Amino acid sequence: MSWSNWLEEWRKVRQGSRSVLSMNQRNLHFIYPNNAREHFPIADNKLLTKKVLSKHGVPVPKTYVAYSSFYELRNLVDDLVSYEEFVVKPAQGSGGGGILVIGSREGDVWVSISGQRYTEADMRKHLADIIFGVYSFGLTDEVIIEERVEQHDELTQLSPFGLTDVRVISYLDEPVLAMLRVPTRDSDGKANLHQGALGVGIDIQTGQAIHAIHEGEPLTQHPDTSVELQGWELPYWEEILRVSRQAATNVPLKYLGVDLAVSTDGPLILEINVRPGIEIQNANMLGMRPLLELARARGEGSSI
């Protein structure tokens, strides 16, 4: 190739990348001006997130009990006596570490959905680990024990390996871009893209699945279940948008990743993220800069 061809190629690449939100711009133009650091705890601490959201009537998984110190674990058996199923989470964990999903109970023993058996002592040790910050790297933490979300059938069919969640990017309280994060066998039931989960781009207007990626590469079927990853509509789509908007409006953070689960009864907010990744653009095969500019124009218009 000659010099001018290279130049032409570079000009095209620049043109094509104009719609892509870069990490530098995400940080400088969206996170810093819209999310004040003092409000980060609302997102970083899931217990606080749930408190703030449920106060405003936003649906979240019901909290059964929360522990913030070791001696509270004395009441463990009494506290959990009436629950067959529940989820144990560190309030400030990341990457799904420390999450334990209990699916049934056999006498005095809890059984996780992966078949692992937890005696009272085992459970107490796991909860103590969470409190001592083993899963939150350096900080003492709190334990959330909450309702196990009964996932909508359609999503369970898509992937039986774990909870599929919906990530909605919200800017100035408006949903901008969405994707479904689908666990795979590789991802060990976790819904994180960099741990091997699929990213399925969802059209923000219609809730239709439009594109999917796995480890950065496009694909059309779930690698384990062979379910088609395009051409169907996500259940409760209007509800998902409404709940996302409701959550965004009620927190002082204006550039957000809202993570929702879709239960048989509708969407529930799992957590919110103040530094949502930019890989969602690949999942949708869509650059998000024009969408963000549109949302800004709309946001400014409505405030006048």
Choose which of 145, 240, 281, 291 interacts with another protein (CB under 8 A).
281
- Helix residue spans in 18-161 (DSSP H): 23-25, 32-34, 40-44, 46-55, 76-80, 120-131, 153-158
The interface mask with another protein, positions 186-225, x = CB under 8 A, is: --------xx--------------------x-x-------
For residue 90, CA distances in Å to 68, 72, 76, 129 come to: 10, 15, 16, 9
Choose which of 68, 104, 140, 221 interacts with another protein (CB under 8 A).
140
Q: Is 266 exposed, middle or buried, given 0-12, 13-18 or 19+ CB atoms closer than 10 A?
A: middle
Nearer to another protein, 48 or 134 (CB): 134
Segment 1 to 20, residues that bind another protein, using CB under 8 A: 12-13, 15-20
Nearer to another protein, 52 or 200 (CB): 200
* Angstrom distance (rounded) from CA 279 to CA 217: 11
Segment 93 to 122, residues that bind another protein, using CB under 8 A: 94-95, 97
Nearer to another protein, 103 or 133 (CB): 133
Q: Which residues bind another protein (CB under 8 A)?
A: 12-13, 15-20, 22-25, 28-29, 94-95, 97, 129, 132-134, 137-140, 194-195, 216, 218, 279, 281-282, 285-287
